[in-house]
Structures are given as structure tokens and as C-alpha cells.
Structure 1
Amino acid sequence: MLKIGTVVTLLLVTSVLYSQNDSIISQTTTKDTIKQSEYVKQLGNGYFPTKYFNFDLRYLIKYNQYEAVRTGLGGITNEAFSKKIRLNSYVVYGFRDHRFKYSFGGGLKLLEKTNTWINASYTDDLQESGSSVFLTDKRLFQLFEPRLLNISLFHKNTTRAVSIEHQFAPNIQSEAQLALSYIVPTYDYIYNLNGNSYANFHISTFKMSFHWSPFSDFELSKNRHKETKDKYPKFTFQYTKSIKNLSKGDFNFSKFDFRAIQQIAYHNDALSEITVVSGIANGETPLTHLYNTNPNNINKSTIMQRFSVAGINSFETMFFNEFFSDRFTTIQFKHYFKPLNISVRFKPQLVLISRYAIGDIKNKDRHQNITFNSLNKGYTESGFEINKLLFGFGLSFTYRYGAYYLPDIGDNVAFKFTFNLTL
């Protein structure tokens, strides 16, 4: 028979082994959960991660009025490949214009603490005429881009660029870029300047962009400042200078762009958001580099023919190519009511929306073979969305009124899908 001491010893050893086994299982489960969370986060940002290279899901398939179906592959190296060097590239093909577009580039990290990178790239692709992008904008991934479906005014953009990213403070991101571009509009357009007619042109630009989040919370992690809590308001500034005769540059012009976003959260899970965007262009500015104020209404005759997908911050009743400005301001207000908790998977949400735009343009006669209006009377639209009705889809209704109200009531109405899906 076993002695009492031996039994006690066996019980203690068994208890320790079970405890260690539980600890190992717990650690393994925690690691698996972290890996799964990181994987879902990567997918939410539009990447399919592999060991050394993350495939960019934005390039898989798109559709627009010029290329029809656009498909390809692209991606960027990850930190397993290198923490100091990153390489990125994509190749896509448009089935209507029968043309490949591509980009390749890379970056070298100079300073870890300030997240300072020097980058270089070469891009041969299309760009929406009248669009304006901030260099410091965070990556935004959507399964499909609603406005892209209906855009018809593109220009071919062949660009060589070098840039420097730098974090002046935890809450101040910056990027400076020198870009040399050759622009060829895909539509019949002539820019007439001092008796010279330009159907295509070279533009050499220097850009400086700042993004300031004065109230967000940051912490130092692995020798790098990371945002831990998003707080508002947030501000973005960008200055662009086009320099004539710098590497064949044809025009002298300057642009200043500004954006402010404020969010007000309420105790009942409701939220209000106000976005102000403004821009001004001075000098010899072709249509490709003016402002279109983000329209999203296709030029069709009936409401149902115009039925598509609403954008995030676009003017749903404003027709594509209806307005161009060399100075403008837009104000958008959204109020998100508390989601209706009907069931675990069914939580629709009502959103009230109101938008206003005002602008103007000088030297309109320089832009030939294209017809558009000025926004100097002020443009208004209001409506609502009911989001997340089924599989992330919802519905939106927007009404155009005020100075640019159209004679046919149906032309003032936009009825569309919405799409909101969070991983």
C-alpha cells in the first residue's frame, strides 16, 4: 500500500502538472486570439497578409465609366520582410480602355521615434479630374468605392515622386512631396492660356501636408508614438505649389486646402459629425487640378436609372461634372441616432444629413470643350440614411433645394443604397 506521504506527493505533482498545462493552454489561446485579432484588423484595412508581403485588396476588382471592369494585383512588404525598408507595387488592367496601369515604389525608414521615412515612386494610372487628396490622409479601405462606379472624367497621370514623412509631435503628422507629372485628359479638353492651347501638359509640384489631432491620446510603444484614443476636432492643411519650367513644368499655380472634422458623442450612443472642407487655387490652373466638390449623381434621366450607392461624404444630388471651382467651401452635418437593438444581428441606424457648398471660378473661358457651372449661389441638399438593414446595406434619400433647384422635381431627388460593413 502507498504511504500517505507518497499519495500527497503524487497529488501535489499532478496538481502542478495540470496547473502548468492550463497555463500553457491559456497562453496558447491568448496568442491565437491576438493573431486572429491582428489578422481581422489587417483584413479591415484592406490587406490579405502573408509572411513577408501583404496583398492589397483595393486592386482586385473595381468598376468605373471609363475602364469598365478594372482588375489587378498589388501589395506592400511587411515588417517581417524588413523594419527599415518597404516595397510596394500594383498592376491593374482596364477592360474597356484595354490598358495596363501600374505603380512601383519603396521607402527607407530614417528615424524610428519620429516615424520618418523617405519614399520614391513611379506611377502610370488614371486620376479623377477635379479631385483633391491630402498626403497625410490615413488609408481608407472600402469593399467597393461608391463614387468610382459613376466617375467619367479621368486624366492619365504619369508621375515620378519623392517624399518625406515625419512626425513632428505625437499629434502632428506631416509629409512633403516633390512630383513631376505628365497629364493627358481622356476627354476632349483644351486649356487655353495666353494664346497657347494645351491638350496635354507637364506639371511639377511641391506639396506640404500636415494632420493635427490636438486632443487625441498617444502612448510610446516600441519606441514609436501610437494613437490610443481618437478625439476631436481634427485638422488637416495642405499647400501645393506648381512651378513652371521645373522639369518641363508648363504652369505656375498654388493651392491651399483645409479640412476640419468635429464629432460630438452623446451618452445614448448617438453621434453628431460636422466636416468643413475648403480650398483655393490661384494662378494658371487647368481643370484637372481644380475642385469638383465631390459629386455623386450620374447623368441619367430618371431617379431609378440614377439608383446606385451613396458615398461617405459626397453630394448625392450633384451631377458629375456639373460644377468646377478654383475656390470653394463645403459644410456637411450628420447626426447618427442610437442604433435600434432589434436583435443581435439586426441593428439598423437612422442618420440625418445636410450638406452645403459654395464656390466660384475665375477665367472660366480658359477651359474649352467642356461645359460646367459656378457654385457662387450656394448649393444645398438634405436627407437621411437608414443603414445596416441587410448584410451592411441600407437606403438613403436626399433632396436638392435652394438656388440650384432644378425645374423637374425628379432631378432634385437621389434615392440610393448605402453600405456600411465593419470587420
Structure 2
Amino acid sequence: MICTTLVQAQSFHKKDLEPKQDSIKKRALLKSLGNGFLPSKHFNLDLRYLIKYNQYEGVRTGIGGVTNRAFSEKYRLNSYVVYGFRDHRFKYSIGGGFRIAEKTKTWLNLSYTDDLQETGSTKFLTDKRYFQFFEPRLLNISLFHKHITKAINLEHQITPKLLSETELAISNIDPTYNYNYLLDNIPINSFHLSTAKVGLQWRPFSTFKSSKKGTKETKDGYPKFTLQYTKSFKDVFGSNFGFSKFDFRTLCKIGDEKGEFSEITLVTGITKGNTPLTHLYHAYPNNITKETILQRFSVAGLNSFETMYFNEFFSDKFATFQLKHYLKPFNVSEHYKPQMVLITRFAIGEMDNPEKHQNITFGSLEKGYTESGFELNKLLFGFGLSFTYRYGSYHLPEFSDNVAFKFTFNVSL
């Protein structure tokens, strides 16, 4: 009788555990997919490389991924290879790293990359992972530069609230468009850079909990601050450009995400010295040059200027301010809750010696650029609509040229 009771108790206990374990596994899978990974036993497939589209490559497809902790907790390998059907060219990256200190999450990484990068874009080293199921701006980008980059970097967690990353790199850069930089009165269309970067990310209002598995963030606090300094050394390993860049970003969130709240994003950057267009700033435009509003109808980005045309402005010093105010979702039904977002964006910038940038025409942002509008999100299957209007100093003569009417796309796992 006692034995029978014990067997029944163990059976019930096992049945109780199985649904919980399944639930934990499902949550872990959804979290991994939300970060852009499809996990397997020793290797996580990176979903970013499966398929994309842009104006230069057309359809871009490939495969990539990174080893996981089941493979090794001290070593990792990461790689990808993609192919562009319009430029008929393979791009790839091979890299790996090893852990120096577990407590401070200190890793030393090596990489070799042969790929494209959008001209005028800035990547922060400490932004380790960024994934969207759908990247709307990418569809219409036309200015890219090829780069072959050999890099070594060091990740180090100074404190749980303060992350750092340092990188030394050598790059050969070739614009895919007709462009020359006038260096010492000589036009140059191929750039060789030897750079050092130091990046810091400070999250003073986030809270963390330590365990045997490491430090885990338990509260996502705001504001957050990201700082990066880049130095290009002339005449070091064949580098023909010497310049300095200083980039800063802060993110702030005010209010309750379950109700009504605001997001504020401030980004600023400045570069000094001989800096080619590839390493300047474009303020993240997202409007294509077409005749009518409907011809320009596309998908709005998350933090881009929707009425600013691609390649319209470049700056060697700039600042952008974005305010997005999320109204409380409309409680239509339990599963249907559209949400309105009010948006205002401002950008200002300058360009010293624009005559050094040859075979390309662009404007400055010294008068200040403004646009405002709204989004109505999650109307159907994650899709919504946005309307933005350009006004102020850079208002255009034709009313329709100041209007951006687009889809939005918001999906979260």
C-alpha cells in the first residue's frame, strides 16, 4: 500500500513538472527567436542573414550563426556568408573569441569581414545585438561602401552597469558609387584606415542580480548612455586618413509601458580631420525620391526621419532629437488593441569643407530640420499606418513633397 502510494505520488509529481518544463522551454525558444537566433545543440542559426533586400544588392540571402554554451563556455566561433543577386558577389565574415575572465565577462575576439556598410551610418561597439524581423530602411538604401576589415576587440564589464569594448582594426574601403575625397589636393576613391575605438555603455538605473550563472538584468532602467571614441591613425599600416570621431547617444523612457509613456532619443556626433563621406553622418533618412506620395509609400523605420530623402544631407557634426509619445492602447477587445503614437523629430548639423567631397551633391542641416506626425500601430497582423509632415527651414515648395505616408510594422515575442 505504501509502495503504491509512493509510485502514484511520483507519477503525479512528474506530470506536474512536465507542463512547467515545456513552458520554460517555449519561453526560452521565443526569447531566442526574438533575439534573432534559432537554437540547435551546439550552434545557433542567426536569422539576420537568411534574406534581406536593398537597392544595391537586390535580394541578399545567406546563412550564419554562432556556437553556444553547449559547444563551449570558454570559446566561441561565429561566421556568416551571404550572396547579393544584383551585384553578383559573396560577402562573408569569420570570427571567434575566448573568455579571459568569467566574472567580468571579459572576452578577446578576432574577426575578418568582407562585406558592405551603409555610408554615413555609425555602429556602437557596445550594441552587441540588434535584430528586427523586418528592417524597413534597408529596402531603399542605395549608398554602400565595400570594406575588408581585420579586427581584434576586447569586451569587458567594468561593473554590471558599465560595459566597455575596445577595438583595433585595419580596413580597406571602396565606395560602390562614384565618389572622390580631395586629400592634399589629390582625389582619392579608395581609403585605407587603421583605427582604434573605445566604447562605453552606462545603465545607472538598471538593477541586476548575481547568481552562479552570472549577472542578470532584473529591471531595465532609464536613461541609458552610450559613448564612443574613434581615432584613425595616418601612416600606420598604410592608413591614408587621420581623423577623430566622438559619438554619444542617450535613451530615456518616461511613464508606464502598460499605459501611456514617452521615449526620448538624443544622438550626437562630431568628426575632426580628413574624414571621407563613408564615416560622416546622415541622420538616418527614410524617404525615397519619387514623384508622388503613393510612389513613396513604403514602411516606416523605428527611429528614422520619414520625410528626409536618402542622401539629401550629410554632416561632419550633427545632433538629432526624437520624441515618441505612446498613448494608452485602444481596448477594442482582449486581443485587438491598436495604439497611437505621437512623434516629433529634430536634426541639426554642419559640414566643413564640403568641396573635398567630389562627384556627389548634398545639403547641410545647419538651419535645423523638423518633422512631426503620428503612427497608428498594430491594426492588423502587426501592421499599422504612419503620417509625417516636414516643416520649418527645410520645408519644400510642393506640399506633397513634405508628406510621408507609410506602413508601420511592430511584432514582439
User: TM tier, shorter chain?
Assistant: over 0.9
- The Cα offsets for residues 333-380 of structure 1, whole Å up to 9 and x where unpaired, read as 000011112122211000000000000010100000000000000000
Partner of 2:52: 62
Secondary structure of the residue aligned to 2:349 is: strand
Partner of 1:157: 147
CA distance in 1, matches of 2:311, 2:176: 14
Partner of 1:118: 108
AA at the equivalent of 2:410: N
Partner of 1:192: 182
CA distance in 1, matches of 2:334, 2:91: 44
Q: How does 1:345-364 map to 2 (within 5 A)?
A: 345-364=335-354
How well do the aligned residues superpose, as a CA RMSD in angstroms? 1.1
Residue in structure 2 matching 1:88, options 78, 83, 86: 78
Cα deviation, residue 27, structure 1: 2.0
Partner of 1:371: 361
Cα deviation, residue 18, structure 1: 2.3
Indicate how the Cα distance of structure 1 residues 143 and 136 shifts in structure 2: closer, same or farther if over 3 A, else same.
Answer: same
AA at the equivalent of 1:377: K
Cα deviation, residue 180, structure 1: 0.5
Partner of 1:208: 198
CA distance in 2, matches of 1:98, 1:268: 47
Q: Is 1:417 matched up with 2:404?
A: no
TM-score (norm 1): 0.96
Q: Is 1:144 matched up with 2:134?
A: yes
Partner of 1:180: 170
Partner of 2:314: 324
Partner of 1:276: 266
Indicate how the Cα distance of structure 1 residues 140 and 310 shifts in structure 2: closer, same or farther if over 3 A, else same.
Answer: same
Partner of 1:242: 232
Are the equivalent residues in 2 in contact too, given 1:112–1:223 (CA < 8 A)?
Answer: no
Stretch moving more, 70-79 or 264-273: 264-273
- The Cα offsets for residues 235-287 of structure 1, whole Å up to 9 and x where unpaired, read as 00000000011111111100000001110114871110111000000000000
Larger C-alpha radius of gyration, 1 or 2?
1
CA distance in 2, matches of 1:227, 1:250: 43
Q: How does 1:216-235 map to 2 (within 5 A)?
A: 216-222=206-212, 224-235=214-225
AA at the equivalent of 1:356: F
Stretch moving more, 39-48 or 159-168: 39-48
CA distance in 1, matches of 2:385, 2:335: 18
Residue in structure 1 matching 2:87, options 94, 97, 101: 97
Partner of 1:305: 295
Residue in structure 2 matching 1:408, options 388, 391, 398: 398
CA distance in 1, matches of 2:213, 2:49: 33
Secondary structure of the residue aligned to 1:415 is: strand
Cα deviation, residue 159, structure 1: 0.3
Secondary structure of the residue aligned to 1:410 is: helix
Cα deviation, residue 17, structure 1: 2.6
Cα deviation, residue 144, structure 1: 1.7
Partner of 1:38: 28
Are the equivalent residues in 2 in contact too, given 1:113–1:223 (CA < 8 A)?
Answer: no
Q: Which runs of 4+ in 1 moved over 6 A?
A: none
Partner of 2:379: 389
Cα deviation, residue 33, structure 1: 1.5
Q: Is 1:24 matched up with 2:23?
A: no
AA at the equivalent of 1:122: Y
Q: Is 1:343 matched up with 2:333?
A: yes
AA at the equivalent of 1:185: P
Are the equivalent residues in 2 in contact too, given 1:114–1:224 (CA < 8 A)?
Answer: no
CA distance in 2, matches of 1:313, 1:383: 13
Cα deviation, residue 134, structure 1: 0.4
AA at the equivalent of 2:288: I
The percent identity for this pair of structures is 63
Stretch moving more, 295-304 or 267-276: 267-276
Structure 2 residue runs without a partner (length 5+): none
- The Cα offsets for residues 286-310 of structure 1, whole Å up to 9 and x where unpaired, read as 0000000110001111111111110
